[in-house]
Structure 1
Amino acid sequence: MNIFERTGKMALGSRLRLLTSRFTDDAMKIYEMYDVAKFSPKWFPVFFVLSETEEITITEIAKEIGHSQPSVTKIVKEMIKADLINDKLESDDKRRNVVALTDTGKTLAKKMLNEQCVDIDLAVESLLSEANHNLWEAVAEWEFLLEQKSLLKRVQEQKKLRESKDVKIVEYEPKYQSVFKALNEEWISTYFEMEETDYKLLDNPQEYILDKGGKILVALYKDVPLGVCALIKMNDENYDFEMAKMAVSPKAQGKNLGWLLGQAIINSAKELGALKLYLESNTILKPAINLYYKMGFERITGRPTPYRRANIQMELDLKK
């Protein structure tokens, strides 16, 4: 079994399936030992729930045991054929289709719970006492942790962290003007229409952004420019700078460029002595809005905007 030593934690799912298979194989032999040879181990969660109640719906069973409704429906049909479940019941609520154990099922439940389950519980307790780690408690802990954040989400985060190491944030140079325009034009044209202010800033960033005291940062992924963002000086008594013209290439999706650009712009604003940072966007851009909230921006209202597409305004208090 040293394959798992070679694969490492990459094969966690395979290792758990192998362990589950071992338990299932033994379970089949255990059922035979207690003269329940035709009982399938996969039926037990449904069977146990039914043993605790007079009648219940398939939806309620699915919720109770954490299975999908189609999965429970399939199991129930198999158990009906085995004469363990009766689905031809009249409920007090005519809208509810309920199922319950047959007399055969009830007799079997009494026997299993009084004999087989008692012996299995003691056997598992014995196994736990021999182990250095309590598998039962560990499984419960892992279930809780994965409910808070799935393995998929955790792998996505690690992927971002790894790929972030190949990202460099650099100052704007004239050679990046075409990229600055192209990346912004791409996302704006996808959802909206380019406006006069867009063309002014994107065609002449030196004149309308840099010469007025602003900044433009470029995100390089493996030395390829795939993201841009501007810090624009504002003539406003409430705001020093606006974070604007953030654009990331679809090729860089999932590589954390937006977050890294945003953090770099925020740090630049602080270095320039800004107390508040302003931005405006559109709520149709959900990933972007979520990113701004994650950065600490809060929604505000009431400031005039030169963009027809802007329907949300936000600010970040840099003093916090």
Structure 2
Amino acid sequence: MGLFERTGKMALGSRLRLLTAKVTEDAARIYELYHIEFAPKWFPVFFVLAEEGKKTITEIANEIGHSQPSVSKIIKEMTVAGLVKEKRNSTDKRRNVAILTTKGIQLTEEIKTQWKDVGAAVESVISEARHNLWEAIQEWEFLLEQKSLLRRVQEQKKLRESQAVQIVSYDEKYQTAFRALNEEWITTYFQMEEADYKALDNPKEYILDKGGKIFVALYENEPVGVCALIKMNDPDYDYELAKMAVTPRIQGKSIGWLLGQAVLNAAKELGASNVYLESNTSLKPAINLYHKLGFNKVVGRSTPYARCNIQMEVRFSK
């Protein structure tokens, strides 16, 4: 086990496979001990049929958590062994159901003594162990069903990479990037409009000099995302979150979230009671991001953008 001490939890799958192989090897020898010709991998299918009678391949697969091809292969092997047979479903002639043969039914009686001994043996291991593996497996299955290991690794990767992202205030040296990133994003989905050019060509005059702010996301010192907080001349809203763009070359690093947080924090520091934005519902990742940032849909406002079909706001509690 020295390898696993060196690899740590990274080798979880390998260690579980090794444990599974050890238990499966013993299981095969246990069947031999009781003079029963039976493959350990058949057990889940056999148990379901013994307990519930006839079942379709799909029903068995869903119940034991195997793929349909895997169950089909096991059914064929058990059919060759004379334990299972297939017949047409009485309610749906297009589907076959698997049922135990007379030999299979007899085996359920013969095998009960073995099951009892195996159960007692497993209980003895549990009583000797510091941790209850059976309960731990149940807990892990539940937790991984809620959020898979893949998803958890994706989140850790995003968290680690997002820590390499730096959010800085706008400087004139970022003007080219501010325009290029927005133009790249807009032209991917829509067309540039007159209102776009006003802000992108003159960010200092149109945004900064009017009391707004612009933030730039740097990844490895390269500008990869931008977002603006624009002061609104409006009785209902103080500021607008606008001109958010992240290059598609750098995704999955929470850059949009970090920019959005920077803009909202700046709005609060400026004493804003609310922030407004405009978007398009076809941009599902963006809409999801705005919801996570606390924005909610509003209606009944005019917009200078043809591409806008949704307007949202976030209000700050005082």
- Normalising by structure 2, what TM-score? 0.96
1:252, distance to aligned residue in structure 2 (A)? 2.1
**Residue 251 of structure 1 pairs with residue 249 of structure 2:** yes
1:49, distance to aligned residue in structure 2 (A)? 0.4
Whether the aligned pair in 2 keeps the contact of 1:200 and 1:208 (CA below 8 Å) is yes
**Which residue identity does 2:82 align to in structure 1?**
D
Secondary structure of the corresponding residue to residue 52 of structure 1: helix
Aligned to 2:312: 314
Secondary structure of the corresponding residue to residue 190 of structure 1: helix
Aligned to 1:49: 48
What value does the CA root-mean-square deviation take over the aligned residues? 1.3
Secondary structure of the corresponding residue to residue 274 of structure 1: coil
Q: Deviations over 1:149-187 (max 9, x none)?
A: 111111122122222222211110111011111111111
Aligned to 2:271: 273
1:96, distance to aligned residue in structure 2 (A)? 4.1
Percent identical: 68
CA distance in 2, matches of 1:69, 1:106: 23
Aligned to 1:12: 12
Whether the aligned pair in 1 keeps the contact of 2:167 and 2:216 (CA below 8 Å) is yes
Aligned to 1:235: 233
Gaps of 5+ in 2: none
CA distance in 1, matches of 2:228, 2:184: 16
**Which residue identity does 1:9 align to in structure 2?**
K
Aligned to 2:90: 91
Aligned to 1:31: 31
Aligned residue runs from structure 1 range 9-158, under 5 A:
9-37=9-37, 39-112=38-111, 114-158=112-156
How many residue pairs end up in the alignment? 318
Whether the aligned pair in 2 keeps the contact of 1:91 and 1:98 (CA below 8 Å) is no
Gaps of 5+ in 1: none
Q: Deviations over 1:186-236 (max 9, x none)?
A: 111111111111111111111111111111000111221111000011122
Whether the aligned pair in 1 keeps the contact of 2:274 and 2:316 (CA below 8 Å) is yes
CA distance in 1, matches of 2:5, 2:267: 49
1:65, distance to aligned residue in structure 2 (A)? 0.9
**Which residue identity does 1:224 align to in structure 2?**
E
> Once structures 1 and 2 are overlaid, which stretch shifts more, 97-106 or 134-143?
97-106
Whether the aligned pair in 2 keeps the contact of 1:91 and 1:97 (CA below 8 Å) is no
Change (3 A) 1:205 1:76: same
CA distance in 2, matches of 1:10, 1:224: 32
CA distance in 2, matches of 1:276, 1:90: 63
Whether the aligned pair in 2 keeps the contact of 1:241 and 1:274 (CA below 8 Å) is yes
